[in-house]
Amino acid sequence: MPERSTIYEVARRSGVSTATVSRVMREGVGFSPETRDRVLAAARELRWVPSGPARGLAVRRAGIVGLLFPDLDQTGEAENESPLFVDQVIRGAERAATAVGDAVLIAATRNAPGHDLALSVAGKVDGLVVMARSLSDRDLARIARSVPVVVLAAGSAPRRLDFVGADNRGGSRQVTAHLIEQHGYRDIAFIGGPAQSPDSIERFSGFGEALSAAGLSTPDVPDAEGGFTEAGGERAMRAVLAARKRPRAVVLGNDEMAIGALAALRSMRLRVPADIALTGFDDIASARHVRPPLTTVRQPMRDLGEQAVRVLLDRLADPGAPRRSVVFPTELVIRRSCGCAGRVTGKPMESSS
């Protein structure tokens, strides 16, 4: 059982003051070598690890940035669903944070009023990257008032907060345009995620842009709502088939729903893409493995996470700097579900033979 030792013990054992120990540990130069060595030796022998809280209190900086996922519980709830986004964002964030000696804290807002939890976390971090997917602007503002925040989300940047995101609208416009221009489809349906979801809204909006750019009529709302889940996508697909003339193609708000739609169509003996073409969004792992492989849009998730904490760190360094907003382009990944021959334009597998 490790018994935590303090800087005082290290100081005593090496016969110097705590100030010297502190300096030796983080400056390393400007000391007689023997002093330095004695301190280092003592620290090692005592297995001294400087107390984060004590240091944080002294320097007024915890050295921790938080990642707030409002819906951590919901996503990936199906036992082994692939909750890609969260995961990749974490990796990127971790990299950017450790690059400057910081660490990252993960937090979720539990049930509705549990925003207090967000605040219990707020005290432990220097700033927060918040995944705004299921958070209202009001909640965001509330959080942002007690701790520096950068918003990580779909393409819509909130009024006065730093923002990092991927160009969801552009990506959606791009797939849709592909369907229209490359394949000549004109009757295209859209299945969205949760109605209030900014991601879903952005994607639907990009869809509309592509239609109107092609001179097609643009719907006001998605043809159906699939909640971003596989099962929801399956239901939604059936719903649109029941509700209207069969569309020639349907663009789905994400890959999970597209996979669900695939299942629905298969069970109805409709062929993809021959009878109906399909596209997804996100390029999750399964998109490649499903039959036919899914044409989709990839976001640079890891980069998003990395950039978000960079922006946050900049903000902490200079609270007065002008608001920033960085949006990453997305990448169209063409596979077969759109009707293309099977030529893959996306990044190839690590090694395919």
Partner DNA sequence: CATGGTTACGTAAGCGGTTAACCAGAGTAA
Partner DNA sequence: TTACTCTGGTTAACCGCTTACGTAACCATG
- The Cα-based distances of 152 to 80, 258, 270, 327 in angstroms read 25, 24, 38, 10
Is residue 82 within the footprint of a second copy (CB under 8 A)?
Answer: yes
DSSP of 232-265: HHHHHHHHHHHHSSPPSEEEESSHHHHHHHHHHH
Pick between residue 244 and residue 291 the one whose CB is nearest to a second copy: 291
The binder of 312, among a second copy, DNA, none, by C-beta within 5 to 8 A per type, is none
From its phi and psi, is residue 9 left (phi > 0), alpha (psi between -120 and 50) or beta?
Answer: alpha
Is residue 71 within the footprint of a second copy (CB under 8 A)?
Answer: no
Site size for a second copy (CB under 8 A): 87
Crossing angle between the packed helical segments 301-317 and 84-99, to the nearest 10 degrees: 40
Three-class DSSP category at 104 = strand
Which range binds DNA by CB under 7 A, 55-63, 144-152, 182-190, 304-312? 55-63
**Contact status, residue 56 vs residue 94, Cβ threshold 8 Å:** no
**Chain-centre distance for alpha carbon 268:** 35
CB atoms within 10 A of CB 312: 28
Which range binds DNA by CB under 7 A, 17-25, 87-95, 175-183, 226-234? 17-25
Q: How far is the CB of 295 from DNA (least distance, A)?
A: 52
Which range binds DNA by CB under 7 A, 20-28, 91-99, 128-136, 302-310? 20-28
Is residue 63 within the footprint of DNA (CB under 7 A)?
Answer: no
In this structure, what token pair is assigned to residue 279? 């596209």
Is residue 319 within the footprint of DNA (CB under 7 A)?
Answer: no
**Contact status, residue 36 vs residue 10, Cβ threshold 8 Å:** no
**Contact status, residue 185 vs residue 207, Cβ threshold 8 Å:** no
The binder of 105, among DNA, a second copy, none, by C-beta within 5 to 8 A per type, is a second copy
Q: How far is the CB of 127 from DNA (least distance, A)?
A: 16
Q: Binding a second copy by CB under 8 A: which of 24, 154, 301, 334?
A: 301
Contacts of a second copy in 328-347 (CB under 8 A): 347
Q: How far is the CB of 91 from a second copy (least distance, A)?
A: 6
Q: How far is the CB of 314 from DNA (least distance, A)?
A: 20
**Contact status, residue 100 vs residue 163, Cβ threshold 8 Å:** no
DSSP of 268-329: TT--TTTT-EEE-SB--HHHHHSSSPPBEEE--HHHHHHHHHHHHHHHHH-TTSPP-EEEEP
Is residue 17 within the footprint of DNA (CB under 7 A)?
Answer: yes
Pick between residue 19 and residue 78 the one whose CB is nearest to a second copy: 78
Pick between residue 148 and residue 247 the one whose CB is nearest to a second copy: 148
Q: Binding a second copy by CB under 8 A: which of 267, 275, 314, 329?
A: 267
* Positions in the binding site for DNA (CB under 7 A): 4-8, 15-20, 22-23, 25-26, 30-32, 35-36, 48, 50-51, 54-55, 57-60
